[in-house]
Amino acid sequence: MPKWVEQIFLPQEHPGIAASMVLIFMVLFLGILLGKLKIMKVSLGISGIVFVGILSGHLGYKVHAETQEFLRDFGLILFVYAIGMQVGPSFFSRLKQDGLLYNSLAIGTVLLGAIVTYLLFVFTGSGMDNMIGMMAGAVTNTPSLGAAKAALKDIAIQAPDKIWNDPTNAYAITYPFGIIGIILVMIFAKHLFKIDVKNEITLFNEQIKKKHPAPEVKKCRLTNSAYFGKTLKDAIVDNKVIVSRIKHSGSTVVQSPNSEYILKERDVLMLVGLPHDLDQMIELLGYQSSDNFIESQDFTLTKSFIVTRSEVINKTIGQLNFLGAFNSRVTRVYRTGLELLANDELVLHYGDKLRVVGAETDLVQIEKLVGNSEKRLQEPQLLSIFLGIILGVFVGSIPFFLPGLSVPVKLGMAAGPLLVAILISRFGGISSLHSYLQQSALLFMKDFGISLFFASIGIHAGETFYHTFITYNGWVWVLYGLIITISPILVMLIIARYVFKLNFMPLLGLIAGSYTDPAALDFSTNYYKSDLPLQAYATVYPLVTITRIVIAQILVLYFALS
């Protein structure tokens, strides 16, 4: 075999970039194949990459050190950034509803894990240097390991004669089993609570509709004489209901009325708004009508247009004056799975789909105004992605000094990009840089990013896994780690399900978010075939990350010298 082939395909003590790339993508390929295998209808999915990576590292394969660190962090950034972009548009509205409860349950899980760790420290005689590594691995949280190691360096100055064990050894042993433990709990919980997944998804969507109802269309017959002869702007004084069409009684002519339209007895109005507001308006004006002629497309058309022109982006519907300039009404705006009422204060984002009612000649002019270019929509917004990641890494690198801690706390390469992606997605980009990403692009970023992350950590952990396992009586550490992993989750699940009656789908996101575990999140979305856990995961991830970093340092600073 030629030497250059050996250098690429056989284990090397100091592998080059080419050999590292071949190894990474070989692990990705074999890991995904492993993830497709099903045992009792259960498969690992993309998480299989971790275990192929561990085996590769055990067989002597290594990745160039700097390349390994880069791919690990780069993959994690892509993964969390895609999640932030996906959940951002509805993040803040749902945060107001469920955010306090979700974060309380997640932080309670973190604190309970710390208590379990302390109890194991007291009753097993293991040093806190090893216990903190076990906890970091058991909850799959790398930032807390880094914080604990930094705290150990600080207290080493106080006790120069004491020899400390490297927490990384315990972390490397418990980390893979932490992933397995969390996934097993997710599967077990379905049977524990006798969950019908399809029914849970249906119930969750119904709950969302109640909390965040989508606009509806209803027809109203005007019979209240108090409104006869009034202009439309005087009759519909608030901005909660939009009149998209009007037809005179007995006529087949349908028009999109302007604000000066004079209302007449028995006019039929097509109203767009939230269900409660529509019912109130119909009660004021008359009664709900079943007249189908008002839906005619002969004189007044209903069309959808996609916002792709920069001149329109970040302007409100009121500023664009569709009614005054084009005698047409925007009734609804569709944005990344959300259906919004098109009131005058709504700011338009790149990629928004507008539902417009008006005459054909006016709609042609509106199409020119907003762009409606499918081709342009297909173009990836690379500038927005690159700038967003730059800002995310910057935010994640900002040090926060908390009272009583000797080292600063940072959000890190995960929480920083996640927060920035949520903000960019919610507020539509920065100046002419647009946040819109197609669903296929988001899925690619998410899956590719987590795959790189899994391959990197798996290969690195596998290099010393067997030796560390044998040297430190690994099965005992695995047992301790599983106790730390499983017991807090079970307590949280029981409280969340039986006390707060939480739906099972966000509970999966809470589990993954409480353990900052992208593997568990990916498994839950694939195994249960739903993206519903993403919202809860993103809701708790930032605060959980900070809490885990702080808790790890507190345990070291208070108990490592005991």
How far is Cα 370 from Cα 495, in angstroms, rounded to an integer? 49
In a domain, 458, yes or no: no
| Residue 298: per-residue pLDDT | 79
**Distance from C-alpha of 532 to C-alpha of 525, rounded to nearest angstrom:** 8
| Neighbour tally for 379: CB within 10 Å | 11
544 and 401, same structural domain?
yes
Amino acid identity, residue 30? L
CA–CA separation, 446 vs 81, rounded Å?
8
Is 49 inside any structural domain?
no
Q: Is residue 192 part of a domain?
A: yes
CA distance linking residue 290 with residue 381, whole number of Å: 45
Do 107 and 181 lie in one domain? The reply is yes
CATH code, domain with 216 = 3.30.70.1450
Lowest average pLDDT, out of 310-324, 373-387, 513-527, goes to 373-387
Residue 349 pLDDT? 81
**End-of-domain residue from the set 357, 376, 395:** 376
pLDDT of amino acid 408: 66
Considering the domain architecture, whether residues 372 and 386 belong to the same structural domain is answered as no
Residue 235, domain extent = 210-376
pLDDT of residue 239: 72
According to the model, what pLDDT value does residue 409 have? 66
Residue 20 in domain = no
Q: 480 pLDDT exceeds 80?
A: yes
What is the rounded average pLDDT for all residues in the chain? 83
Per the structure block, which two tokens stand in for 444? Answer: 């690619």
Of 345, 376, 407, at which residue does a domain stop?
376
Same domain, yes or no: 251 and 108: no
Quote the CA–CA distance of 553 and 560 in Å, as a whole number. 10
Q: Which amino acid is at 420?
A: V
Give the mean model confidence (pLDDT) for residues 13-23: 82
Q: Are residues 496 and 385 in the same domain?
A: yes
Which pLDDT value is given to residue 491? 94
Is residue 388 located within the same domain as residue 521? Answer: yes
- The residue-averaged pLDDT of 135-153 equals 80
Helix (H, G, I), strand (E, B) or coil at 515: coil
Same domain, residue pair 239 and 152: no
**Stretch 300-326: mean pLDDT:** 84
Query: Do 357 and 315 belong together in one domain?
Result: yes
- Of 376, 392, 411, the residue at which a domain comes to its end is 376
If one compares 370 and 109, the residue with the highest pLDDT of the two is 109
**Is the confidence at residue 342, as pLDDT, over 60?**
yes
pLDDT in tens, 489-547: 999 999 999 999 899 999 999 999 899 887 788 888 888 888 888 888 878 887 887 78
Residue 482, pLDDT above cutoff 70: yes
Distance between CA atoms of residues 555 and 113, nearest Å = 12
160 and 308 part of one domain:
no
Rounded Cα distance between 435 and 389, Å, is 12
Does 324 lie in the same domain as 232?
Answer: yes
pLDDT at 486 over 90: yes
Specify whether 369 is located in the same domain as 386: no
252 domain residue, yes or no: yes
pLDDT band at 113 (very low <50, low <70, confident <90, very high): very high
Lowest mean pLDDT among 194-203, 237-246, 382-391, 402-411: 402-411
**Does pLDDT of 484 surpass 90?**
yes
Domains: count for the chain:
2
Instruction: Kindly state the helix (H) or strand (E) to which residue 353 belongs, with its residue range.
Output: strand 353-358
Is the pLDDT score of 225 beyond 60? yes
Domain assignment present for residue 44? The answer is no
- Regarding whether 367 and 300 lie in a shared domain, the answer is yes
Q: Is residue 276 part of a domain?
A: yes
Q: What is the pLDDT of residue 435?
A: 67
CB atoms < 10 A from the CB of 90, how many? 18
